[in-house]
Amino acid sequence: MAMAMAMNVSSSCFCVAGNRTSGNRLRAVASEDLVGLKIKDDKVKLGGSDLEVTRLGIGAWSWGDTSYWNNFEWDDRKMKAAKAAFDTSVDCGITLFDTAEVYGSRFSFGAINSETLLGRFIKERKVKDPEVELAVATKYAALPWRLGRQSVLTALKDSLNRLELSSVELYQLHWPGIWGNEGYIDGLGDAVEQGLVKAVGVSNYSESRLRDAYKKLEKRGIPLASNQVNYSLIYRAPEENGVKAACDELGVTLIAYSPIAQVRGNKPLEPMQGVLTGKYTPENPPTGPRGQIYTPEFLTKLQPLLNRIKEIGENYSKTNTQVVLNWLVAQENVIPIPGAKNAVQAEEFAGAIGWRLTGEEIDELRSLAMEIKPVTGFPVEKL
């Protein structure tokens, strides 16, 4: 039954993981049911806006970054890998890309702005495929010295210049400001009315802040389309703090970042992997900042959940990564945006949609995850 469900996949490239052989590598699975079907035909509306996006997006935080990802280095090889991640995602029908003005910026000690790279990749892609439809989401940094609605419009126009676009599909407030939040929300509304964006959202907003932003925009007839927060099988704070319920009630899409609990690789050229992928063990924990969170003790407690994820995945010919991403999609009104640094990761992520876990499997994974002490989230969620 599970295998039959998994084979009923909508995909423009055969993004289906094979059985676990050396390196957990992917293999294409030929099926008449797959031919001619495309993931991109399976889109959802973003909140109450008219914008339609794919059920899964790609996060571009690592592109050009040297402060957290990429082992503090950026070179031509990594740039080509990021370009391959972009192209492979589009080839597989994943057309939503999430970036931000601070990703890769000088402010964050980066090498090259992620927006600049994404804009370049889009421009090159459109030369080859002029009809391709892409959805770009970027974010405004609510820095303490930025005040008023005009600061939002100024930052947005700077982002558009880096992206080499006249407008973007989604513009978000990256985090709540220490002050001036009403002005920021006014700026989002102005951006919609000036035709610079198709939809607006927030990120790292608590339930109360979310409701306030929703009401303020509603007075202008503008829907708050999304709230981007940390959400995964092992970090379910949005379910516990009222954010997920408020999103569902208000019709605001929850965009899930860090959906597989991604961390940096342990070696210079090793791509970032998620703790939920099974790549890390008590004997091989991640290094860097998140190594302080995902300790050998935590990874030991995580093993029963990882083992069950693997067993379920084998029934569908899916990887751990694809199972945990599908679990998020199955929560409804949720769009996960895992970060892709190369083509292999992008292809694997695309294989997470077009099929569905059973209700029993969804509940079982949640039950196992509840036995694990929650990990730490992004600090601004507490503001």
Asked whether the beta carbons of 335 and 49 are under 8 A apart, the reply is no
Distance CA 66, CA 112 (A): 9
Instruction: Please state, in angstroms and rounded to a whole number, the distance separating the CA atoms of residues 310 and 370.
Output: 18
Both structure tokens of 121: 């990749």
The values of phi and psi at residue 66, to 5°, are -135, 10
> Pick the catalytic residue: 68, 103, 235, 257?
103
Active site annotation includes 103: yes
Element (H, E) at 159: helix 149-163
Residue located via tokens 């679990």: 327
Bridge partners, residue 319, by sequence: none
Based on the number of CB atoms within 10 Å of its own CB, is 342 exposed (0-12), middle (13-18) or buried (19 or more)?
middle
Helix %, strand %, coil % of the chain (to 5): 40, 15, 45
- Are the C-beta atoms of residues 44 and 335 closer than 8 Å to each other? yes
A 10 A CB-CB count for 39 gives: 25
Q: Hey, which residues are catalytic here? A: 103
